[in-house]
Amino acid sequence: MSTHSEPLGRPLRAGVIGLGWAGQQHMAAYDALPGVELVAIAGMEDGPRAELGEQYGLTRLHRDWKDLVAEGDLDLVSVAVPTFLHAPIAVGALEAGLHVLSEKPIARTAAEAQTMVDAAHRAGRVLEVAFNHRRRGDIEALKAAIDGGQIGRPYHARAIWLRRAGIPALGSWFTNREMAGGGPLIDIGVHVLDYALHFFGEPRVQAVSAVTHAELGNRGRGGSTGSVKQNVDSAYEVEDLASLLLRLEGGGSIVIETSWAAYRPAGDEFGITLYGTEGGADLRVVDYAPSGELTIFTGEGEESQDITVTADPGRGHLAVVETFLEHVADPANWSNWDGSLALDRARVIDAAYESARIGAEVRLSPATNADGATAGTAATEGA
Could you tell me whether strands 205-213 and 241-248 are parallel, antiparallel, or unpaired per DSSP bridges?
antiparallel
Write the single-letter amino acid at 154: P
Helix, strand, coil percentages for the chain (3-state, nearest 5)? 35, 25, 40
**pLDDT on residue 134:** 96
How far from 352 is each of 23, 103, 141, 348, CA to CA, in Å?
Answer: 28, 21, 29, 6
Task: Identify the CA nearest to 280 among candidates 175, 113, 154.
Answer: 154
The full set of domains in the chain, from first to last, is: 12-133+317-333 (3.40.50.720), 137-313 (3.30.360.10)
CB 309 within 8 A of CB 141: yes
Buried b / exposed e over 184-200, threshold 16 CB at 10 Å, is bbbbbbbbbbbbbbbbb
pLDDT the model gives residue 304: 79
- Rg of the chain over Cα atoms, rounded to whole angstroms, equals 21
pLDDT, residue 377, reads 38
**Cα separation, 50 vs 41, whole angstroms:** 10
Contact 128, 104 (CB under 8 A): no
pLDDT along the chain (383 residues), means of 10: 55 97 98 98 97 98 98 96 98 98 98 98 98 97 97 98 94 94 98 98 98 96 76 91 98 98 96 97 96 94 85 95 98 97 98 98 78 42 51
Is the omega angle on the peptide bond into residue 168 within 30 degrees of 0, that is, cis? no
